[in-house]
Each structure stands twice: as structure tokens, then as C-alpha cells.
Structure 1
Amino acid sequence: MNSLHGKVALVTGGSRGIGAATALRLARDGADVALSYQQDKGQAERVAGGIEELGRRAWTVRADMAEATDVTAMVDGAVAELGRLDILVNNAGLGVLGPVEELPLADVDRVFAVNVRGAYLAAQAAARHLADGGRLIHIGSCVTQRVPFPGASLYAASKSALTGLSKALARELAARGTTSNVVHPGPIDTDMNPADGPDAAAQRGFTALGRHGQPDEIAATVAHLAGDGGRYVTGASIAVDGGHAA
């Protein structure tokens, strides 16, 4: 298991699902963890409590990733509260599905503001603080590599942008030993996409393994990239999708 003792991580959208599992896994590996949430303060505090039960420090902050001032304050606050920043996990995201000819401009702007601009601004703010050997890890989506159903144009476009951002950051920050990678989850069993939901059977059918993944399975890959074992991986797009792209 990777050792992250002495490291500080910030997980955006860390109050539930993949974000919560990632925050807890990084803490289990030894990191102190800051996590952002947008709506459910109670759930964020429960995750923070789990981090503290593991003997690590935790800090929660409300942040709307579409608001530039929130994003900057989130990163700066994490550094002020926990003393440094070594790992940023750009997990917060927004999914809006629908026919391309029908989606209103407000939805387009909001999805790109959260999924692309928010991730960019978080990475920009983090780059000012990251210690040498830092880690940027962005949570993409399996639909960037294969879109097996209609109505996902907006979401796929926004998540695909993370690949270009991550590759550019990998080049730009390499001299400092900082890595940047994208993890593309497949269908994951969360409250936003439950394994017993109305579209779950179809989603399972798109994967080679024929099942939903678990948030911990994404968190394990993030933890590997965040730790010493990930020091020579950068600019990569890693599918943890049960064979969705196979």
C-alpha cells in the first residue's frame, strides 16, 4: 500500500460517491484531507469524521465549482488550514443528458463551468501551492472513450476536455516532478447512478465485466497515482471502467 504520510490532499466533490471513497482512501494511506461540497454539509462532515477516525486531519469547505472565487478560496483555504498541498483530485462534476438540439444554453454553460473551467481553476490555484512531486488527478468518464447511447454529447465533451488539460499540465509542471493524469470511471454504483436504477441493466451491458464498479475501485487507482508508485505516470488516461471501452 502506498504511504502518503505527511501529505495533504484536496478532493473536490468529496462528500459522497467517488469523492468520498477517494477522500477516505487517501486518509487511510496517511494523508490529511480537505474536501469540498456544494450542498450537503452534514454528509461532508460525516466523511470528515471518518477521516479523523483514521487519525488524520480533515477540513471541509463549501464551494460552487462554477464560481471562480469559490474555487480559489477552496484551494487557498486548504493550504491555510492543513499547512501545504501535495495532491489535488478534481472530482466534482455535473452531468446533464439530453438531445443536442434541445439542451438550453444555460445547461451548456453550467456543465462547462463546473466540469472544465472549475477543474482548470482548481489546478491553476493548486499549481501555486503544490510541493515538488505534487499530484494532479482528474476524474473523467468512460463516455470520453466510447459513447454507446444518445444524449451524452454535452457531458462527453466536457469530460473529454479534461484529457487535453491533463496532458498540458503534465508537460507544464514536469520540471517540478508534478504529475497530471485522468482516471475514467465506468458505471459506478453511487447515489447518482445506482446499480439498481432504471438504466442500470443497460449500463452493465455496455461493460465487458457486466457489472457496476464500486467507488472504492476508483479510489484505489487514484491512491496509486497519488503515491510513490505513481511517480512515473503522467499525461495518462486510465480507464477503470469494467471494459466499457473494450
Structure 2
Amino acid sequence: MTTDRRVLVHPDKDSLAGAVAARFITKIIDILDEYDEAHVVLSGGSVNTAVLAAIKNSPAQNNVDWHRISFWWGDERFVEASSADRNDLQAREALLNHIPVDEAKIHAFASTDQIADIDEAAADYARQLDEAAPDGARYPRFDIMFLGVGPDGHIASLFPGLAGIRETEKTVVSVLNSPKPPPLRLSLTLPVIQSADRIWLVMAGADKASPLGLALAGASIEEVPAAGAQGRKRTVFFVDKDAAAEVPESLIAPSY
């Protein structure tokens, strides 16, 4: 897969979150100038949640037509809806509850309160993707997909060595044995992730330096799933200085 990949380094987590927020607002306005609607995939984790909070706090977010944006998630912890582990709950508290987005366009994974069986929950999300897809497709055109990267190199809930990273037919998989708690999760599959026009991986901390370095060096996707995170148009690693410790200088792009 050919794609424009770049690494943008920021001094610390706060400046990283602010820069990604500003870039998102600018880019989503451009996208909405070109298309009638946009589809954005959100991620969990402290850094991505900080980005959402920075978007909320930016005066420029008032220039975004939020009614024309649909929000999705790359993965979710299969727990009760009120659990603090839920990615969608974190996103609502950080941003979605504070902007005029249509509730019908917030596509959260089912919680255990809503669907008790995890495989049925995976099938439910696959159905939502299918219903929002253009004719002949199985999922929407994703304009921007946010991803976090774990210290083990996982993206969404696709972990090294587990079956999910090898799935090519399903659009959504259930994860029963996540090495990171909670063990039950739901995740988009790699083909869906790679269908996104733009993938933005947001990473902070020294524990992300190794997986970032390996991903950029062409490590096996089976061993470092982040190596497979490549958007159709562009892939950007937004990182802080600590996470960039093992990135060759030649791969670090000038700031936007």
C-alpha cells in the first residue's frame, strides 16, 4: 500500500493535544467544503481524549458544522454503558456532550446492558457500518480515523499474535482475551482501518518509542499491528518528544 506517512513531533503531551486539535478543526472544515458529510473514527486513551478536550476548548470549533459529521469508534471495551472504561463515555465527556452533534450520528458500540452476547454486539456494529455505507460498500468512507498505539504495538483492539489482526473477511471482531484489561472488547478489523482516507496515530510517552520505531521500520503486522495502520491518502504519527526517541531524523517531518 502506497501512502504518505509522516511523523510530527511536539515537545510534550499538552502541546501535542493542542496541535492535533487545531489540525483536526482545519481539516474537517476542508472536508465538509468538499463533501456533504464526514465520517470520523475516534479512539480511546488519555492522549486521544486530551485531543477531544482541546477541540472542545478551541474557539475555532464554532466554525465546524457538527451536524454533518458522523462519529464512530475503532474499538470499545465490552462493559456496561456507565463504565469509565468505555471509550464512548470518555469521548462524550470530553467533546460530544458539548457540541451540537446529532445523537443519531454518534455510532457507539453496544454495551453489555444493551446486548449481552459479544458476538451479537459485533454483528450489530457491522450492521451499523453496512447501513451507513455507500452502495456496493460494507462501511462508510472514513475521512479521519484516530488511533492510539499501545506499548505492545496494538491498534484499536487488534493485539500482536491474536486472531483479530489476521481477520480479513469480517468488518468487526469480538476479542475475548485482550492482554490488556478488560478482556472483552470489540474492534474494527485491519481492512476497515486501512480503508480510511487519513489515519492519525496520536502517541505520547517513552513507552511508545519502541512500537513507533518498529512500525516505521517495517515490522511484521502480526508482531506490531501499528505497522499496518496506513491510510489511503495519508498516515500521520503525531507524537511527543519522548515517543519519538527511536524515530530516524529523516522520517520526522517539519511541523504543519
- TM over 0.5, yes or no? no
Q: Normalized per residue, which structure has more helix?
A: 1
Larger RCO (CA under 8 A, 6+ residues apart): 2
Q: TM-score range by the shorter chain?
A: 0.3 to 0.5
* Superposition TM-score, scaled by structure 1 size: 0.35
